[in-house]
Amino acid sequence: MIEIDDLLGSKAIAKGLVKASSVAITAVVVKQATKEIKPIIKMTKDGLMHAIERHTVNELSQFVKKSKFLENVNIPTLIQKANQVNPVSQPNGRLAWVVDAGTNSGVDRVTNQPTQLYTVITESTGELVTAFPGLP
């Protein structure tokens, strides 16, 4: 026969379990939300200039060895498009956004071949640092 105290005790235990589960579920949800939060890439004048002067075909001879974007691509548009992918944290705290452009967007200096892949580097808060064809 179940005593009234047993019932109250079970109720208390059940309540405790529900509360503990609730805390655990909240922790998981918060963790997942933190994981998914990513900054929006913020175009900066310095970052854009850095990318354009190095990674476009131009007369600046000191950058001749760098990987180059193709002449028909719009670099600011490529940079904005990187918002569609999830960035990867770099050891220095910056973020690398590796994007497949779908068509050739540049020439990789290692292979000297056209590549669809390009990388956008931002600060952890999203400010543009640079962008270049190929992988980081």
Partner 1 sequence: MAFLDIVILDDKKNEISSIAIDSQTHQDLIQIVGPAYKYPYIQRLQDFYKDAKFESPEVENLRRELAQFRLVLDGANSHSFEGKNNVIRFLKDFEKLCEKAQSLSLEIYCISD
Residues 33-72: x where in contact with partner 1 by CB under 8 A, - otherwise, as a string: -----------------x---xx----xxxxxxxx-----
Least separation, in Å, of the C-beta of 64 and partner 1?
Answer: 7
Task: Supply 118's token pair.
Answer: 């390009």
Report the DSSP pairing between strands 68-69 and 128-133. Answer: unpaired
CB of 103 to partner 1, least distance (A): 21
Q: Does 93 help bind partner 1 (rule: CB under 8 A)?
A: no
Work out which of 72, 77, 84, 92 binds partner 1, going by CB under 8 A. Answer: 92
Q: How far is the CB of 12 from partner 1 (least distance, A)?
A: 53
Q: Least distance in Å: CB of 108 to partner 1?
A: 8
Give yes or no for residue 136 binding partner 1 (CB under 8 A): yes
Mind giving me the DSSP string for the chain? ---HHHHHHHHHHHHHHHHHHHHHHHHHHHHHHHHH--PPPB--HHHHHHHHHHHS--S-GGGTTS-EE-TT--HHHHHHHGGGS--EE-TTS-EEEEEE-SS--EE-TTT-SEESEEEEEE-TT-BEEEEEES--
Binding site for partner 1 (CB under 8 A): 50, 54-55, 60-67, 91-92, 94, 109-110, 119, 121, 129-130, 132, 134-136
